[in-house]
Amino acid sequence: MTISVQNKQYLNFINGKGVPSSSQEMMESLNPANKKEAVGYVQKSTLEDLNIAVKAAKQAQEKWKRLSGADRGQYLHKAADIMENRLDEIAECATREMGKTLAETKGETARGIAILRYYAGEGMRKMGDVIPSTDAEALMFTSRVPLGVVGVITPWNFPIAIPIWKIAPALVYGNTIIIKPATETAITCAKIIECFEEAKIPAGVVNMITGSGSIIGQAIAEHPEINAITFTGSDRVGKQIGQKAFVRGAKYQLEMGGKNPVIVAADADLDLAVEGTISGAFRSTGQKCTATSRVIVQHEVYEKFKQKLLAKTKEI
């Protein structure tokens, strides 16, 4: 693969090939379970690198949008097949890089494959509607059109599913993309991009830039030739991105954190409530925007619930 080189180093993927950053600097991605182990190294990119990627995406978009939806969908099908063949490898990388269990990363990889196939099918579905008109000679209709270049900024907690559920719909509807993954899980994202590369998606349609959020993420939000941004991450950063996109009239989509309580009523099945609380709080190492962060318990069952919860937690 042209995106990966020796010694676990991964290049930016721009215009169909691996490209080293103009900074000539690398960043390491560490295993959270063993901070002495570097899972791999990725580029510390600059604004110059981003501008090259935007130019490639913009040039590729004209030809990409002229393909039929079915033809675009075929590339997603191919990428899904390749990912399925590499499921264990990608899942193991995600576990080492992010920290959730192998069973969970295998499930997430399988979900990513399913998302690719679902959106590949979107290429065969209707792209608009015919609307009744009071003028017998008039034909009124709507048709979806691509936005252009889409900037994709993804977090570390679902390093496979979140990139794919942002990339796949953007691609099948005729957009080209530039993805900046979280540095903590950039190696996993690189392996996903390798699947698109192996599927021979046209050069410039999919581009990956690795680097700091304060430099590359902010520049994606502000770049005048990036037509839309999709972001998953913190409230603080999401608000900043939304404001920057709004000012220049770009489309934007924000998925940010929440505070999610479990409510335990006095007549609840306490064993079931404990099971649900532990699953919500601790699965995916507790690092989900939907993670349980509070438990609100009616006072009549508070002590009994607390003891059951503590006992089950100690078993983990």
Question: What is the C-alpha separation between 109 and 101, in angstroms, rounded?
Answer: 12
Indicate the angle between helix axes 87-98 and 186-198, nearest 10 degrees. Answer: 160
Per the structure block, which two tokens stand in for 232? Answer: 């998953």
Per the structure block, which two tokens stand in for 81? Answer: 């097949």
Indicate the angle between helix axes 87-98 and 69-85, nearest 10 degrees. Answer: 70
In the residue annotation, 184 being an active-site residue is answered as no
In the residue annotation, 122 being an active-site residue is answered as no
Candidates 289, 300, 303, 315; catalytic one: 289
Candidates 255, 300, 303, 315; catalytic one: 255
Contact 295, 280 (CB under 8 A): no
Question: What is the C-alpha separation between 188 and 6, in angstroms, rounded?
Answer: 16
Question: What is the C-alpha separation between 177 and 15, in angstroms, rounded?
Answer: 11
Residue with tokens 């192998």: 102
How many Å is the maximal CA-CA distance in the chain?
74
In sequence order, the 6+-apart residues with CB closer than 8 A to the CB of 66 are none
Question: What is the C-alpha separation between 254 and 82, in angstroms, rounded?
Answer: 29
Alpha carbon of 253 to those of 71, 153, 166, 230, 233: distances in Å? 26, 10, 10, 5, 11
Which residue numbers are catalytic? Answer: 255, 289
